[in-house]
Structure formats: structure tokens, C-alpha cells
């Protein structure tokens, strides 16, 4: 960060083909050779792609058109993987060839700014895993679960098509443009490309959006741990485990990352198993049985302390643990789904697909499905990761397609697996778990009665089933465990016990799933608070320069307190909300995330226009228009809808009127205090929606203006401002994708013949 | 993929594959950061000696204190 372009403005021309070193083999496959290779369709190649297309087509047919009693989960795997392969091979290639035009003769920041620390050329396959671990967390595991209210098909279509046409495109473009700018962040790019107004709006919006995202992720954890002694114990144990790992890495055996990760993992498993034993004892059940408000306060205090502690003590070791778990868990889930192949009984479109008063999240399919599933289809948060860290590690320009576009496809696959896990459990259990207490009544009897009264096809649940499921997973109750994480955990336990361990292992698998989700979320909460704190310090620093000093404790603590206070307030609002926090707040999370995506795509559109790629601007403009329409419509619903379940202000008015009429209970609020809470919460949520949408519209408008200006400039022959770093000739070579092509192999062989002393990297030290 | 397979890798393809996988996971986790730093340091031809392992990791986490990296949801 903080790197400035080495000189001011340059034109788009004059940056092509920086002078190469004649003593080295070519640093890029010859364009004509690559072209010929890509256009040569051998019979084997044709047969492969025809087979992929056919298999994908059959899978989509099975999911979308065949209306049997059940559908097998394997079709989800085939439909998604085949579509990803086609999207990757054909669509991302179009983006590469016509819009981005990467040039391997240009050195990447990892080469020309190499410092052995932040800027390090990294093997493409390693970086793929690294980037994937940074972008994938609890988001793709939670959103699809909540969206399953509408049936499996709407979510499946949006996750798969959304990622190919929007989500992966965003990640790829942001990564590429950031790489061309020495790894600058999205905020810095917005400032440069959109000017002061657009840039400031983007910064403020990003800050607010981060607050909302952190708050709602925290809400998911609170909902998963509330009244769950086992969960509280095992997740709580991650803190001492991480502290131990931190001390181990700092003082005992520095640098032994794998070793400490394995120790941490073993301790984690012990904490899960021990949690069951502790929760089984009387004192354990009493001591770790915490209500949601207590857990929320605990999380707020923890969040503040974690964000001011040095990174080495808590954040870094937990990040290792989280990455380690991520790789293992996702591989395990994929293998389990492929091996077990559960039958799905959930209908393609549920009864709630055509209504806007669903119990899990409220609002109509359009636009709310598209905001409920953000991560996995299109996630604006990724733009913050794809700019900054990963671009500083890329070895060759052409690898951005594999890492940026391909990495996001991988996250989408995680979302599909979460969806499969959620729809593989009984629908009655699903609704009993995900509806707020106000509807289910909180007991197995009332919940069963309420679910059966919904009139859902094929759903007839008994209180015994709910009680049995709870006891199988080692919980006192599973009624109204909203937030997605517990449902996913039940689904995962249901699939995994068929794979390993049987019913006896369900409690372990359930708490294993809760544990890794909590781990991902706590890491995101920590990191999010820190990043937001720095953004705030930086912004205040424009007025009071002292705040820009990261090491100035009072400033750092004050800004941390402000950020934690902000997300903490939203979290408490969600926890105490009589309407059930997830139901009202989750759409706000999705809207925030998608607005960030709109901002990122808007910045990308302005950049692409300045590069003169008007003919292919639709690649950015179409997803931008779609996400802008979705989020602005959703915001308008939330602001102006007269249905109290959907509109924040309608709800506010209804409760205010009830209070004015002297009522002491109204709707789901049973006391005057609860009614006042609703009035307060809806007002805050309503105003947040307004601020988000206004800021985002400002960013989008400034981006459109920048695009139009670029078009006029180009038409008039005036060069556009180019904020890319000065091109440096590359002195290294590496292939672009997972499997090198024949031409790439030939070139690699040439490089391998080179004497070692000529292959040394000559970094851009001045 | 960088180094040629050693004799052990040729004798025990399974062990070789496992080692490759372990190296991959290490890379993803960032466990090889110090090795890469040393490589860079040697290649760049600095006059000063490189940091030792302890100092390198200290420096690495301390720099993250003032330069946090986001983790996604």
C-alpha cells in the first residue's frame, strides 16, 4: 500500500513491448503461436468439450426440468463443474483476449518491486490456493442456506450463472487492474479513476459496508452459539489455542508454521471432543450455557481486544489455523457429497418462491434472492482482497485469469456444496431451525405445529423428530437456530455421518462444522475491524495528521473503539430484535456486499473505458447494470415498501402507531420496551439503507461520467489518463494456467536450459 | 514443480507425491516465506547479511500490525 505511480500521466500507447533482454529466451509465448494453438481444434479437444457440454446439459436438465420426487445431489456437482469449465475456457478467454489483453513481456509488481516480503513471485498453483483461502470464508456457507427457503433451483441458477458472468469477472478485473498499478487497493483506484467525489463516496461506503458485514457475520456466530454449552466451550477454546500458537511461533520455534498448525489442529479436535464432555457435566452445562445477549457482549469485548493486540499473538496464528481448516474442510465436503450422493427432496421452487413474507428472510425472489446469496455468486468484499495482497504475488500477467477468475469459480463451488448440504435435510427441520422464535414459539411442540401449519407439500414433522435431531447433534434444541450456520452444520453432519462414523458421530460433525464456521468468521471479524480501523485512521488523518501514524496508540485505540462500537451496536440490534435479527438484517448484509460489488465494477468500467476498450465494455457494464438494479431495487423495497415485513419505515410506522395507541404488545414484540426497540432498530436500518444506496449511486454516476468522458476523449483523439505503473520488461517466464500448453512447455524447456546465474531475478532495487 | 525430483522422489513416487503435496500446502499457508526471502536476498545481491529466521518472522507479523490484510466473509 501507499505506493505511488513512479511518474505521472502517460498515454495508453508507448507502454507496449518494453525492451526485452536479448540474452534471455522470450518471456512470453509468441502471440501468433498462442493464437494458432487456441484456434486449433483437434478431434480429441472437440470431443472433450462436447462431452463436458453434454454432461452439463443433462445435469441442468435433471435439476431444472425433471420433476421427480427427488433429485440426486451429484447433478448439482455436474451442472456446476461443467458450467464452470465452459465459463473458464470460453468466457474468461474472451475477457482476456479482448478486454484485458495481458502481456507477459511486462514484469508484474512481484518482479519489478520484488522485496522478498510483500512483493514475492509465487508459483501460480500455490497462489491460487492462497487467494482462495483469502476470499472464501463463512459467506458462501451461509447465504445459500438461507436462500434455500425458495427451493434449490433459484439459488443454484444464481450461484452458477452469477459467478460466471459477474462474480468471477469482478475478481479477475479488479485483480488485473490492481496488478497493473503495483497492487493498489480498490479505494486508491477509485480515488484515481473517479476523482475526489466518487473516491470519497467509495471510501465512506466501503467503511460502512465493512461495519455491516462484520456485524452480521458476528450475528451468525452468536446465533450458532446461543444456549449451546458445547459450542461456546469449543469455540471459546480457539482463543487460548491461538494464543499458544502465537507464543510458540514467536518465541519457541519461529517459522515452523506447518508444525504449529498441526499442533493447533489437534488441540482444536480435542476442544471439540472435550466440549461434548464438558457440556455433559452439570457445571459445564450451567457455566457455558449463555444467552445470545451475553455472547454478543463477549464478542464485542473480544473484538476490541483482538484488534489492538499485536498480530503475532492472536490474528496470525488463527489465520494459519483457519487456512488449514479451510483446505481440509472443503476437500472433505466435496469428497463426502460425491461419495454419499444424497437424494434431495426439497422442491425446485418452494411455496415461498412466489411470496415476499418468507419466515427465513423476507422479500420477493427478485431482488432479494440475489442479495441473500452474495458470496459464491458475486461478492463485493472480494474486490478488497483481489486488490492489494494477491496482485503483489503474481508471477506473470496471464496468470490473473487462472487465479482471479478461477479462484472465484472455486468459491462458487463451495457455495453449491453448502446449498446441497442445506437442502439435503428435511424441509420441516429446515424451517423449524431457520424461522425466528416469534414464529416457532421456541419449543419442539409449537415449532412442529407451526411448520405443519405452513401447508408445505410433503412436510409433516413431529416434535419427536426435532427433539431427536437436537439430541443427535448434541444440542438441547435446534428450534429457531437461525443464521444458516447451524442448518449447514446439521446438513453436513447428516452427510458426513453416512460417510464416516454413523449417527454416533453426528454430534462431533455438527460441532466440527460450527467450529470451522466460527473460526472463519472470527478471523474475518478481527481482520475486518483492523482494516476498517486503518481506513478510519487514514480518513481522520486528512484533518488531524497525527491519526495517520499507525503506531500512535491513542489514535489506534480510539478508532478501534469506534469501529467495534459501530458493528457492536448493529450486532446487539440484531440479537435483541424481536423480529429475529437474521430475518431483517441479512438482506442488509447482502445489499451492502452487492453495493460494494457495484462500486468495484464501476471502477473497473471507468478503467476499461480509459484503456479504450469500448467494444467490449459490456463485459463489465452488464454485471454492473444487473447488480446496480438488484441492489437499488432491494434498497427501494427496504426503504419504501408498505409491507411491514419488508420495508423498514413501514414497520417503524406500524410500531410507532401501536405505541401511540397505548398498546403494550404488537406483532412479535411482547413488551413496550421491545416495541420501542423495533422503532429504534427500523429507523437505524432504514437510514443505513438510504446512506448506502445514495453513496453507491454517487460512485456509479461518477464512473459513468468518467466512462463517457473517456469515450469523448477517444473520439476526439485526446489521450486518456493512464494510472498504470510504468511498464518494466520481464526477465522471467512461467505458464499461465494449471496445465501448461505445448507451446508453454517448449518455452519452459528453453528457460530450463539457461545457466542458473542468468536466471537470477534482478529486482527493481534503486 | 521448480526443483527436479531427487533420487528419493524417483525411488518412491508415493513419497515424492506426498512431499509435493506437503510443499504445496506449505506454500498456501505461507510457511515457506523465509526461504523465499533468503532466495530473494541472495539473488538481489544486497551487501548486508539477511535477517535470521526469528527476526524475519518478527518483522513479518509486526509489519502486518500496521498493514492489515483483509479476510473475506
| pLDDT reported for residue A2 | 38
Residue from A115, A117, A753 whose CB has the most chain B CBs within 10 Å, to mutate:
A117
- What distance separates the 2 farthest-apart alpha carbons in chain B? 47
| Chain segment B52-62, per-residue pLDDT in tens | 999 999 999 88
| pLDDT reported for residue A225 | 95
Q: Compute the distance between CA of residue A510 and CA of residue A472 in angstroms, rounded to an integer.
A: 9
Q: How far is CA A497 from CA A64, A422, A508, in A?
A: 29, 15, 9
Residue A547 CB partners (closer than 8 Å, separation 6+): A537, A538, A540, A541, A555, A559
- Contact of A265 with chain B, judged by CB distance below 8 Å, is answered with no
| Chain segment A446-465, per-residue pLDDT in tens | 999 999 999 998 899 999 99
- Contact of A320 with chain B, judged by CB distance below 8 Å, is answered with yes
pLDDT at A727 over 70: yes
Tell which A residues from 137 to 166 touch B, by Cβ distance under 8 Å.
137-139
Q: Phi, psi (5° rounding) for residue A755?
A: -60, 145
CB pair distance less than 8 Å for A1 and B69: no
- Contact of B19 with chain A, judged by CB distance below 8 Å, is answered with no
Percentage above 90 pLDDT, chain A: 77
Query: What is the number of CB-based contacts under 8 A between chain A and chain B?
Result: 152
CB pair distance less than 8 Å for B58 and A1: no
Q: Compute the distance between CA of residue B22 and CA of residue A53 in angstroms, rounded to an integer.
A: 34
pLDDT at A476 over 50: yes
| pLDDT reported for residue A458 | 86
What is A680-738 written as a DSSP string?
HHHHHHHHHHHHHHHHHHHHHHHHHHHHHHHHHHHHHTPPPPB-SPPP-B------SSS
CB pair distance less than 8 Å for A381 and B70: yes
Q: Compute the distance between CA of residue A594 and CA of residue A588 in angstroms, rounded to an integer.
A: 10
pLDDT band at A17 (very low <50, low <70, confident <90, very high): low
| Chain segment A530-565, per-residue pLDDT in tens | 989 988 998 898 899 998 887 788 999 999 999 999
Chain B residue nearest residue A131, CA to CA: B28
Residue B10 CB partners (closer than 8 Å, separation 6+): B16
- Provide the grid cell at A142: 451461509
CB pair distance less than 8 Å for A125 and B26: no
User: With contact defined as beta carbons under 8 Å apart, do A257 and A321 qualify?
Assistant: no
pLDDT at A428 over 80: yes
Q: Is A212 exposed, middle or buried (0-12, 13-18, 19+ CB in 10 A)?
A: buried
What is the pairing mode between strands A71-72 and A343-344?
antiparallel
Please name the helix (run of DSSP H) or strand (run of DSSP E) that holds residue A271, with its range, or none.
helix A257-280
| pLDDT reported for residue A758 | 67
- Contact of A136 with chain B, judged by CB distance below 8 Å, is answered with yes
Domains in chain A (CATH in brackets) are 34-227+290-716 (1.20.1740.10)
User: With contact defined as beta carbons under 8 Å apart, do A226 and A297 qualify?
Assistant: no
Identify all chain B residues contacting A526, using CB atoms and an 8 Å cutoff.
Answer: 71
Q: What is the total residue count of chain B?
A: 73
Q: Phi, psi (5° rounding) for residue A166?
A: -130, -60
| pLDDT reported for residue B11 | 63
Average pLDDT estimate for B2-23: 71
| pLDDT reported for residue A645 | 82
How far A751 CA sits from the closest chain B CA (Å)? 12
Identify all chain A residues contacting B49, using CB atoms and an 8 Å cutoff.
Answer: none
- Provide the grid cell at A207: 467503511
Chain A residue nearest residue B58, CA to CA: A250
How far B11 CA sits from the closest chain A CA (Å)? 23
Identify all chain A residues contacting B43, using CB atoms and an 8 Å cutoff.
Answer: 760-763
Task: Give the other-Cβ count within 10 Å of B11's Cβ.
Answer: 10
User: With contact defined as beta carbons under 8 Å apart, do A581 and A574 qualify?
Assistant: yes
Specify which residues A343 forms β-bridges with. Answer: A72
Nearest by CB to residue B69, choosing from A125, A527, A550, is A527
User: With contact defined as beta carbons under 8 Å apart, do A627 and A699 qualify?
Assistant: no
- Contact of B61 with chain A, judged by CB distance below 8 Å, is answered with yes
Q: How far is CA A87 from CA A100, A164, A539, in A?
A: 16, 6, 40
> Whole-number mean pLDDT of chain A?
91
Q: Which of A735, A33, A13 is nearest to A395 (CA)?
A: A735
Residue with the three cell numbers 474475518: A524
**What are the percentages of helix, strand and coil residues in chain A, rounded to 5?**
70, 0, 30
Phi-psi sector, A86: left (phi>0), alpha (psi -120 to 50), beta: alpha
How far B12 CA sits from the closest chain A CA (Å)? 23
Q: Which of A191, A208, A196 is nearest to A692 (CA)?
A: A208
- Provide the grid cell at A376: 459464491
Q: Phi, psi (5° rounding) for residue A666?
A: -150, 130
pLDDT band at A209 (very low <50, low <70, confident <90, very high): confident
Helices (H), A401-541: 406-423, 427-434, 437-440, 444-452, 463-472, 485-499, 506-541
Helix (H, G, I), strand (E, B) or coil at A116: coil
| pLDDT reported for residue A759 | 64
User: With contact defined as beta carbons under 8 Å apart, do A400 and A169 qualify?
Assistant: no
Chain B residue nearest residue A758, CA to CA: B43
Identify all chain B residues contacting A323, using CB atoms and an 8 Å cutoff.
Answer: 28-29
Average pLDDT estimate for A151-169: 97
Tell which A residues from 494 to 553 touch B, by Cβ distance under 8 Å.
521, 523-524, 526-528, 530-531, 534, 550-551
Q: What is the DSSP letter of A164?
A: I
pLDDT at A67 over 90: no
pLDDT band at A333 (very low <50, low <70, confident <90, very high): confident
Average pLDDT estimate for A171-184: 96
| Chain segment A596-632, per-residue pLDDT in tens | 999 999 999 999 999 998 999 999 999 999 999 999 9
Residue from A116, A221, A242 whose CB has the most chain B CBs within 10 Å, to mutate:
A116
pLDDT at A423 over 90: yes
Tell which A residues from 455 to 494 touch B, by Cβ distance under 8 Å.
none
Amino acid at each position: 500500500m501507499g505506493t505511488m505511480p513512479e511518474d505521472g500521466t502517460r498515454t495508453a500507447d508507448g507502454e507496449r513491448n518494453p525492451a526485452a533482454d536479448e540474452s534471455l529466451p522470450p518471456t512470453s509465448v509468441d502471440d501468433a503461436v498462442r493464437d494458432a494453438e487456441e484456434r486449433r481444434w483437434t478431434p480429441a479437444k472437440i470431443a472433450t468439450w462436447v462431452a463436458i457440454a453434454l454432461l452439463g446439459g443433462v445435469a441442468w436438465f435433471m435439476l431444472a426440468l425433471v420433476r421427480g420426487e427427488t433429485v440426486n445431489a451429484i447433478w448439482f456437482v455436474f451442472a456446476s463443474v461443467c458450467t464452470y469449465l465452459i465459463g473458464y475456457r470460453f468466457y474468461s478467454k474472451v475477457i482476456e483476449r479482448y478486454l484485458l489483453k495481458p502481456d507477459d513481456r511486462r514484469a508484474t509488481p512481484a518482479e519489478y518491486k520484488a522485496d522478498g516480503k510483500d512483493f514475492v513471485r509465487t508459483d501460480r498453483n500455490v497462489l491460487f490456493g492462497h487467494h482462495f483461502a483469502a476470499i472464501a470464508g463463512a459467506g458462501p456457507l451461509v447465504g445459500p442456506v438461507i436462500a434455500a427457503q425458495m427451493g434449490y433451483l433459484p439459488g443454484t441458477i444464481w450461484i452458477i450463472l452469477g459467478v460466471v458472468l459477474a462474480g468471477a469477472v469482478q475478481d479477475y478485473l479488479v485483480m488485473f487492474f490492481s496488478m497493473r498499478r503495483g497492487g493498489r487497493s480498490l479505494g486508491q483506484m477509485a480515488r484515481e479513476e473517479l476523482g475526489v467525489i466518487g473516491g470519497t463516496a467509495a471510501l465512506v461506503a466501503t467503511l460502512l459496508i465493512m461495519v455491516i458485514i462484520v456485524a452480521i457475520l458476528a450475528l451468525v456466530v452468536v446465533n450458532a452459539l446461543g444456549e449451546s454449552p458445547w459450542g461456546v466451550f469449543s469455540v471459546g477454546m480457539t482463543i487460548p489455542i491461538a494464543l499458544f500458537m502465537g507464543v510458540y511461533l514467536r518465541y519457541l520455534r519461529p517459522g515452523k508454521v506447518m508444525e504449529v498448525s498441526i499442533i493447533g489442529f489437534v488441540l482444536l479436535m480435542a476442544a471439540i471432543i472435550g466440549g461434548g464432555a464438558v457440556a455433559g457435566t452439570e457445571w459445564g452445562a450451567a457455566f457455558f450455557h449463555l444467552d445470545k445477549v451475553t455472547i454478543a457482549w463477549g464478542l464485542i469485548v473480544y473484538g476490541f481486544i483482538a484488534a489492538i493486540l499485536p498480530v503475532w499473538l492472536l490474528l496470525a496464528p488463527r489465520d494459519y489455523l483457519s487456512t488449514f481448516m479451510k483446505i481440509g474442510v472443503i476437500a472433505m465436503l466435496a469428497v463426502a457429497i460425491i461419495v454419499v450422493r444424497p437424494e434431495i427432496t426439497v422442491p425446485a421452487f418452494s411455496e415461498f418462491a412466489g411470496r415476499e413474507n418468507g419466515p427465513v428472510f423476507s422479500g420477493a425472489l427478485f431482488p432479494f434472492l440475489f442479495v441473500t446469496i452474495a458470496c459464491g455468486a458475486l461478492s463485493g468484499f472480494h474486490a478488497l482482497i483481489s486488490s492489494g495482497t494477491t496482485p503483489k504475488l503474481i508471477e506473470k500477467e496471464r496468470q490473473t485469469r487462472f487465479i482471479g477468475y478461477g479462484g472465484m469459480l472455486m468459491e462458487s463451488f463451495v457455495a453449491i456444496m453448502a446449498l446441497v448440504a442445506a437442502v439435503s435435510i428435511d424441509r420441516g427441520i429446515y424451517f423449524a431451525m431457520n424461522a425466528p422464535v416469534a414464529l416457532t414459539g421456541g419449543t419442539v411442540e409449537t415449532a412442529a405445529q407451526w411448520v405443519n401449519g405452513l401447508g408445505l407439500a410433503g412436510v409433516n414433522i413431529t416434535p419427536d423428530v426435532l427433539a431427536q435431531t437436537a439430541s443427535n447433534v448434541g444440542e438441547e434444541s435446534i428450534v429457531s437456530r437461525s443464521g444458516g450456520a447451524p442448518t449447514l452444520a446439521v446438513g453436513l453432519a447428516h452427510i458426513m455421518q453416512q460417510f464416516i462414523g454413523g449417527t454416533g458421530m453426528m454430534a462431533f460433525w455438527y460441532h466440527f462444522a460450527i467450529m470451522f464456521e466460527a473460526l472463519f468468521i472470527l478471523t474475518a471479524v478481527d481482520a475486518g475491524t483492523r482494516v476498517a480501523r486503518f481506513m478510519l485512521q487514514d480518513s481522520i488523518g486528512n484533518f488531524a495528521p497525527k491519526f495517520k501514524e499507525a503506531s500512535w496508540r491513542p489514535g489506534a485505540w480510539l478508532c478501534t473503539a469506534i469501529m467495534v462500537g459501530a458493528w457492536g451496536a448493529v450486532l446487539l440490534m440484531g440479537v435483541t430484535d424481536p423480529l429475529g435479527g437474521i430475518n431483517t438484517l441479512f438482506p442488509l448484509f447482502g445489499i451492502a456486499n452487492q453495493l460494494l460489488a457495484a462500486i468495484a465494477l464501476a471502477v473497473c468500467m471507468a478503467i476499461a473505458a480509459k484503456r479504450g476498450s469500448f467494444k467490449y465494455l459490456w463485459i463489465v457494464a452488464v454485471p454492473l447494470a444487473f447488480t446496480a438494479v438488484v441492489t437499488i431495487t432491494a434498497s427501494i423495497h427496504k426503504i419504501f415498501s408498505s409491507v411491514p415485513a419488508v420495508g423498514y419505515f413501514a414497520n417503524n410506522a406500524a410500531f410507532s402507531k401501536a405505541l401511540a395507541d397505548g398498546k403494550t404488545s404488537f406483532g412479535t414484540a411482547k413488551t413496550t420496551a421491545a416495541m420501542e426497540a423495533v422503532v429504534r432498530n427500523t429507523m437505524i436500518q432504514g437510514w443505513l439503507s438510504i446512506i448506502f444506496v445514495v453513496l453507491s449511486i454517487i460512485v456509479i454516476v461518477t464512473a459513468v461520467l468518467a466512462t463517457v468522458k473517456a469515450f469523448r476523449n477517444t473520439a476526439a483523439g485526446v489521450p486518456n489518463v493512464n494510472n498504470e505503473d510504468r511498464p518494466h520488461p520481464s526477465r522471467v517466464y512461467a505458464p499461465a494456467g494449471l496445465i501448461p500448453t505445448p507451446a508453454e512447455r517448449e518455452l519452459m524447456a528453453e528457460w530450463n536450459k539457461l545457466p542458473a546465474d542468468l536466471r537470477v531475478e534482478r529486482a527493481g532495487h534503486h | 514443480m521448480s526443483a527436479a525430483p531427487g533420487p528419493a522422489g524417483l525411488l518412491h513416487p508415493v513419497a515424492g507425491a506426498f512431499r509435493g503435496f506437503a510443499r504445496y500446502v506449505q506454500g498456501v499457508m505461507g510457511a515457506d516465506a523465509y526461504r523465499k526471502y533468503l532466495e530473494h536476498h541472495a539473488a538481489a545481491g544486497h551487501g548486508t547479511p539477511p535477517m535470521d529466521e526469528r527476526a524475519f518472522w518478527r518483522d513479518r507479523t509486526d509489519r502486518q500490525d500496521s498493514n492489515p490484510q483483509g479476510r473475506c466473509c
